[in-house]
């Protein structure tokens, strides 16, 4: 049947076709807009990724210096070796050269250079420059070198924990390297080359090079000479006292800047023991910052400061010690079970009499005691710029019984980190300003130096008068035979402590102690604080006066020599005596013999006769030394 089209129907068909064409055109325009304008950047990056191959250029980490300008950590250029199997023309020769130069297994390298299913494979990281040059000169097709960096520590195992170390990927793992990784790491660069669909380099194509930007340099508060003095003393303790570990610190009392900080055993930062992660973790911890412990008698500095500030005690007060106090029906012993008798505050502090400090804590009461503990920063972190700081443990105030408060007065029933305790002591001896401790002093970026200011948490924690009295007590405590006798001719103050350790079950760990010493110089206005902590000494003695204080004296003596400090009194001459044989004598007889020689003693045991003594008979010791009598 014949079909006729009218003019009207034809126009409709043309209009429909035009509309379809217009729609398609608009859709194409919209699609082009989306591709080129909206998604243009991301698609361009994807395209670039398809037709280029890149090798990262690891940014050199910033250097680390001590306060005197000595280099503590520096980066040097190394190379990562890569292979693109599709470009390798002689797999056997390539595998042989690489295995020989890089000291690798031939079969393993051959497998990698023939693995064409991947575009690129890493052969070895951090290859030294000389070896990299040998590989480059071999002109091996498909072998590429990417510039990276490694770390070198000029002092080896000095300052191991504070500096920390980096991973093979150039990322800080511990210490300053980890805490300030974002400042030290810099910004990586890249090297691009054009390639075909199979990933092979296109000969004569353009190459692109984006250089790496080095990280910032850091200047620490650490003095490497003081650090060496401290670490030598700690090594001596490890040899002579045979402890589980030992830690030490030298701090600026005015600013709380850390001048030296270490614990032993340690390791060489240029030869990190990565094959034993448990040992590495143990030796990497900065125990003065991370660990908490029951401080014992060094805590008495805080108790007496609080009581003095509240006007609850004065230098004229006296205390009677029969060897114990009965509180809430519980008998709490003084360390000297036969008692100290009648004594002044200064004598009680020097004797480290527990009874006196139980009395002071009870005079303060729970509210006032906790008020000062909070001011002294206990139970919370100091904010020191070292990772893993412990918060310490204070019993909830609502649960504190009278007997608990009494024990807290002499440093039991409370747990602190050493850095908490030392920050509080610095506040007490410097006149009452609590500063946040730190190890970073300055940041150097593009020749600009940014000072890291000391953060003052609180001023006027105690008065200047209270501070002066505490400094006097510290001076009297260590200079038992006269002024300037602890370190001959120098005005050094200090306090020792002996604390029991606790087992994982919560009970007292028998025979395990932490012995400590806190020293200040000059005693009448301290600039330096020295701290020694000996964990589980096993050479026979465990009292802080025996296993910690003598090494604090060594640190101070060497510190004065380094600083060029002149003696306050050249006329002071310390006398030495020979330790007598006291074994078999009654306690009374032994005490008489020691008094003749101007020696002090501490008791271990509750018997009537001396069965052992430290040091042994015939040892030459300084007058005023405290010896141990085991009964």
Q: Please count the CA atoms within 13 angstroms of the CA of 123 that sit on its side-chain side.
A: 37
> How many whole angstroms separate alpha carbon 202 and alpha carbon 192?
12
Are the beta carbons of 185 and 63 closer than 8 angstroms? no
Q: Is 312 exposed, middle or buried (0-12, 13-18, 19+ CB in 10 A)?
A: middle
Six token digits for residue 62: 């910033």
265 cis-preceded (ω within 30 degrees of 0): yes
Closest CA to 196 of 119, 249, 101: 119
- List, in order, residues 6 or more apart from 587 with CB less than 8 Å away: 338, 603, 607, 608, 609, 610, 629, 631
Alpha carbon of residue 327 to chain centroid: 39
Quick check: is 297 catalytic? yes
> How many whole angstroms separate alpha carbon 5 and alpha carbon 8?
8
> How many whole angstroms separate alpha carbon 150 and alpha carbon 154?
13
> How many whole angstroms separate alpha carbon 328 and alpha carbon 402?
7
Alpha carbon of residue 241 to chain centroid: 23
> How many whole angstroms separate alpha carbon 356 and alpha carbon 345?
8
> How many whole angstroms separate alpha carbon 312 and alpha carbon 581?
44
> How many whole angstroms separate alpha carbon 129 and alpha carbon 274?
24
User: 3-state DSSP call for residue 211?
Assistant: coil
> How many whole angstroms separate alpha carbon 536 and alpha carbon 199?
62
The CA-atom distances, in angstroms, between 245 and each of 263, 338, 623 are: 7, 33, 29
Six token digits for residue 620: 């030459």
Candidate list 191, 195, 284, 297, residue with the active-site label: 297
> How many whole angstroms separate alpha carbon 233 and alpha carbon 238?
9
Are the beta carbons of 409 and 327 closer than 8 angstroms? no
What is the per-residue burial (b if ≥16 Cβ within 10 Å, else e) of 269-282? beebeeeeeeebee
Sign of the Cα torsion 337, 339, 344, 350 reads negative
What is the per-residue burial (b if ≥16 Cβ within 10 Å, else e) of 94-114? bbebbbebbebeeeebbebbe
> How many whole angstroms separate alpha carbon 346 and alpha carbon 132?
69
For residue 512, give the H/E element and its range.
strand 508-521
CA gyration radius, the chain: 35
Which residue's entry shows tokens 């030992």? 246
Any idea which residues carry the catalytic annotation? 297
């Amino acid at each position: 049947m014949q079909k006729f089209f009218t003019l009207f129907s034809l126009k409709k068909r043309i209009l429909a076709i035009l509309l379809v064409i217009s729609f398609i055109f608009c859709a194409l325009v919209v699609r082009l807009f989306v591709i080129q304008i909206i998604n243009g950047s991301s698609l361009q990056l994807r395209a670039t990724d398809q037709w280029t191959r890149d090798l990262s250029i690891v940014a050199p980490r910033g250097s680390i210096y001590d306060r005197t300008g000595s280099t503590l950590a520096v980066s040097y250029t190394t190379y990562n070796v890569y292979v693109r199997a599709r470009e390798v023309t002689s797999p056997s020769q390539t595998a042989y050269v690489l295995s020989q130069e890089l000291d690798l297994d031939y079969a393993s390298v051959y497998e990698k250079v023939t693995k064409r299913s991947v575009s690129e494979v890493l052969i070895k990281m951090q290859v030294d420059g000389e070896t990299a040059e040998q590989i480059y000169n071999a002109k091996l097709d498909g072998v590429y070198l990417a510039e990276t960096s490694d770390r070198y520590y000029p002092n080896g195992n000095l300052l191991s924990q504070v500096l920390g170390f980096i991973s093979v990927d150039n990322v800080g793992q511990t210490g300053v390297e980890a805490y300030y990784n974002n400042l030290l790491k810099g910004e990586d660069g890249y090297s691009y080359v054009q390639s075909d669909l199979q990933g092979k380099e296109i000969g004569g194509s353009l190459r692109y090079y984006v250089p790496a930007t080095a990280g910032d340099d850091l200047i620490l508060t650490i003095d490497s000479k003081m650090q060496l003095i401290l670490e030598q003393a700690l090594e001596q303790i490890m040899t002579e006292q045979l402890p589980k570990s030992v830690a030490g610190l030298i701090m600026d009392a005015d600013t709380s800047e850390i001048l030296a900080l270490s614990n032993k055993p340690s390791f060489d930062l240029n030869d990190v023991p990565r094959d034993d992660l448990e040992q590495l973790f143990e030796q990497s911890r900065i125990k003065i910052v991370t660990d908490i412990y029951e401080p014992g008698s060094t805590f008495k500095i805080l108790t007496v400061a609080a009581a003095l500030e509240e006007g609850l005690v004065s230098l004229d007060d006296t205390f009677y010690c029969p060897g114990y106090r009965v509180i809430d029906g519980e008998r709490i012993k003084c360390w000297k079970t036969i008692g100290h008798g009648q004594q002044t505050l200064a004598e009680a502090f020097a004797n480290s009499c527990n009874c006196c400090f139980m009395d002071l804590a009870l005079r303060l009461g729970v509210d006032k005691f906790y008020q000062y503990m909070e001011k002294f920063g206990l139970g919370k972190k100091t904010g020191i710029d070292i990772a893993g700081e412990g918060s310490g443990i204070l019993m909830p105030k609502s649960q504190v019984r009278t007997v608990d408060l009494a024990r807290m007065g002499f440093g039991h029933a409370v747990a602190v980190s050493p850095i908490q305790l030392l920050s509080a002591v610095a506040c007490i001896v410097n006149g009452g300003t609590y500063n946040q401790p730190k190890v970073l002093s300055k940041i150097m970026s593009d020749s600009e130096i940014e000072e890291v200011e000391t953060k003052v948490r609180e001023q006027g924690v105690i008065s200047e008068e209270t501070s002066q009295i505490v400094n006097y007590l510290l001076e009297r405590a260590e200079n038992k035979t006269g002024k300037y006798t602890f370190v001959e001719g120098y005005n050094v103050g200090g306090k020792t402590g002996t604390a029991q350790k606790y087992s994982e079950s919560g009970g007292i760990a028998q025979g395990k102690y932490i012995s400590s010493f806190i020293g200040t110089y000059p005693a009448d206005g301290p600039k330096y604080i020295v701290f020694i902590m000996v964990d589980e000494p096993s050479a026979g003695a465990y009292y802080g006066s025996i296993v910690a204080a003598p090494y604090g004296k060594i640190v101070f003596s060497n510190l004065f020599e380094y600083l060029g400090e002149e003696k306050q009194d050249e006329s002071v001459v310390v006398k030495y005596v020979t330790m007598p044989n006291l074994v078999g004598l009654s306690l009374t007889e032994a005490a008489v013999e020691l008094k003749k020689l101007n020696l002090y003693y501490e008791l271990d045991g509750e018997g009537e006769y001396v069965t052992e003594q430290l040091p042994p008979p015939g040892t030459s010791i300084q007058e005023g030394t405290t010896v141990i009598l085991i009964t």
